[in-house]
Chain A
Amino acid sequence: MTTADSSAEIDVSRLEELADVMLPAAHGMPSASDVKAVVVYLDQVLGWRNDLRQSLARAVAGLEPATFTVDQLAALHEEDEDAYIALTTAVAACYYLSPEVRGRIGYPGQVAKTYDPYAYTEWVAEGLLDPVVERGPIWREAPG
């Protein structure tokens, strides 16, 4: 396990370029930099998960943004799994914290909902369970 190092410096502009390759604008979704994912949310993400910092710094320093392609992620995974996990986790976490991104994928977060606990009587009355009940017991008798 990598030891967390709160002093490891991360080049934010390099990370933003890498994040744009991993999450470009496509299929109606914005790129990472379109929503300023890294610039706005990286401090927050590393505040929650400072243990990622050192490995993330290593990943960012080791990948060249100008020539980076997503195909290189497999090699990073193979050579330095902690760096790979830190990079993918941090980029994804920053991106999906963006309210614009959440809005576009229809994700409101894990929200509380209310419901009628007796609504089940409707689907029972409707007969949803009838075929199961009509087939009869399926448990196996066992000697006592």
Chain B
Amino acid sequence: MTYRADVLIIGAGASGGVAARHLAEHGFDVVCLEQGDWPDRSAFPGTRPDWELAIRRDWAMSPNVRNRPEDYPVVHDDSDIEPLMYNAVGGSMIIYAGTWPRMLPSDFRVRTLDGVADDWPIAYQELVPYYDAIDRQIGVSGLAGDPAYPPHDDYPLPPLPLGMAGRRVAEGHNRLGWHWWPEPNAILSAPYDGRRPCVQRGVCTSGCAEGAKASTDLTHWPKATAAGARLITGARVSRITLGPQGLATGAVWLDRLGVEHHQEADVVILAANAVGTARLLLLSADDRHCPDGLANSSGLVGQRLMMHPFSVVTGWWDDQVEGWQGHFGASITSYQFYETDPDRDFVRGAKWALSPVGGPLNHILPMRAGNEVWGPDHHELMGRTFGRGASWAIFGEDLPEESNRVELDPGRTDSHGIPAPRVRYRISDHSRRLMAFQEQRAEESLTASGCQETAVASMIPYSGWHLMGTARMGEDPASSVVNPRQQTHDVPNLYIADASVFVTSSGVNPTCTITALALRTADLLVQHRSEQKVPA
């Protein structure tokens, strides 16, 4: 007998986990299909001696390098940035850094304030209650009162340690008269909700074996399943099905053996990231109803992909600061050059986050700033720099362009034979000016902080963690894919909970906002449940 759920969620990562918990706790019968598995924390490599070898292969952030059965290839030979992600319960939160900044009020109004891109149909203030709620759900460590933000609730936990490098750069910024603040992190500084605190091991981006870094496999799924949600892993969705009334009826999915199933539901929520969600909407094209892809009457599905140009500026002191140690999220942040300044040759700006630089292999075979040096000079370089550095990680606001997009690749497929996504993405001249300015200022920051040497890794390709914008939110169905409730204009019982809906990218790490939006979407679904159209 076919089982029909109230809500089917596709993807058990950040947005899927948050939505599932809220809906299940409010009485909805929730089923979630996740192509990956539950993460095994004992398999995380950060406590092993091969950690730095593992992150270059089996624990790489690129699905193309990991090449696990649950991954799908992302064709990116026509892209300046390589999309990165992780497919499992918890999603890419398993490998994210854990920095937890909110977007700023101006981020929602870039057309009004700066004459570029588009305003969001919602404002910062509408998200504040959801930001506050999410901070409590996951246990954010931070310090209230940052003058870069409007006042908001205090964080549930005290800030993580500044570390030696954070302290020095904080003092440097005080000398320059520049902004800095302890970074809010989704990493516990003290025991919280049954989880242990961070031990400063510095391996956050290859999985947190302590469970101190928040990911929904820890923070939301146990509560969601306790409230009755059903989570099916190893379930790869191939398309969303549409009924005669133009409503979604569920999704076809393949199990690990390739056996096809159909999960019926009254409401479908896509939560598969801005590449995966666009891919599924395009895969769900139907010659009769939606030949260009599901929910794509605007033609915008897959378009306006944003990925945050990312530069790393590293500075080295002449003494040890244990530069391999500390939470990888960030110790301190700076918004000194975040907002638009009319005297510059670009608008908008970037957020900076100060991070450790890794162990010896990352030092001499750098994935970020630095050079490979062999022969006698190798030891001179290591002696001069190892353990003595810290990096400003700089995310620049990426303005949307329709030419930056996700399509279906005509040749590549995943392990089930489903067409793979192809990403076409170019960093704009505007972004290049913005990032060049930020890189120069970051070198000044580190020099003022006492560093003897600095190096810039400019707009590195291996940096596409932040996938946004491929099904944008808006009031007008002709120029957007979802409405402000994240309900698709074309299919009233199909919602999108992930960062596909972002109108613009802001210049901050997106997961905090992804989860706040997912909570808001789920909450509005609960509030408007009696009005929800469902299949007969």
Contact = CB atoms under 8 A, between A and B. Distances in A.
B361 A96 contact: yes
A113 B46 CA distance: 14
Contacts of A29: 379, 382-383
Nearest to B151: A137
B462 to A, nearest CB: 14
Contacts of A138: 147-148, 179, 335-336, 338-339
Interface stretch (A6-14, A53-61, A115-123): A115-123
Interface residues of A, number: 53
B523 interface: no
Contacts of B374: 21-23, 70, 73, 88
A107 B386 contact: yes
Contacts of A109: 49, 359
B411 interface: no
A142 interface: yes
Contacts of B189: 117
Interface stretch (B52-60, B263-271, B437-445): B52-60
B124 to A, nearest CB: 7
B157 interface: yes
B375 A24 contact: yes
B387 interface: yes
Main secondary structure of the interface of B (DSSP, over half): loop
Contacts of B478: none
A112 B199 contact: yes
Nearest to A114: B199
Interface stretch (B11-19, B167-175, B294-302, B490-498): B167-175
B532 interface: no
Given A112-B199, A120-B159, A70 B339 contact: no
Contacts of A115: 161, 200
Interface in A120-144: 120, 123-124, 128-129, 131-133, 135-144
A140 B104 contact: yes
A115 B336 CA distance: 29
B177 to A, nearest CB: 7
A129 B161 contact: no
Contact of B53 (A49, A114, A139): A49
Given A88-B372, A113-B325, A142 B200 contact: no
Contacts of A135: 147, 177, 179
B113 interface: yes
Contacts of B335: 138-139
B149 to A, nearest CB: 6
B243 interface: no
B50 interface: yes
A69 B47 CA distance: 35
Nearest to A51: B57
Interface string B41-80: 0000011011111101100000000000000000000000
A143 B177 contact: no
A48 B53 contact: yes
A69 B113 CA distance: 58
Nearest to B171: A128
B108 interface: yes
B145 interface: yes
B371 interface: no
A140 B339 contact: yes
Given A24-B376, A139-B149, A140-B104, A123 B53 contact: no
B380 A26 contact: yes
A105 B53 contact: no
B26 interface: no
A54 B199 CA distance: 38
A17 B246 CA distance: 70
A21 to B, nearest CB: 7
A28 interface: yes
A105, A115, A117: most-surrounded residue (chain B CB, <10 A): A117
Contacts of B340: 140
A89 B177 contact: no
A108 to B, nearest CB: 9
B129 interface: no
Interface in B351-409: 359-361, 364-365, 372, 374-376, 378-380, 382-383, 386-387
Contacts of B145: 133
A142 B149 CA distance: 12
A109 B124 CA distance: 42
Interface of A: 21-24, 26-29, 45, 48-49, 51, 69-70, 73, 88-89, 92-93, 96-97, 102, 105-107, 109-115, 117-120, 123-124, 128-129, 131-133, 135-144
6 contacts: A97-B49, A105-B382, A120-B158, A135-B147, A135-B177, A138-B148
Given A138-B148, A139-B106, 13 more contacts: A24-B376, A26-B375, A26-B376, A48-B53, A89-B361, A107-B359, A109-B359, A120-B161, A123-B167, A132-B174, A132-B180, A137-B148, A144-B123
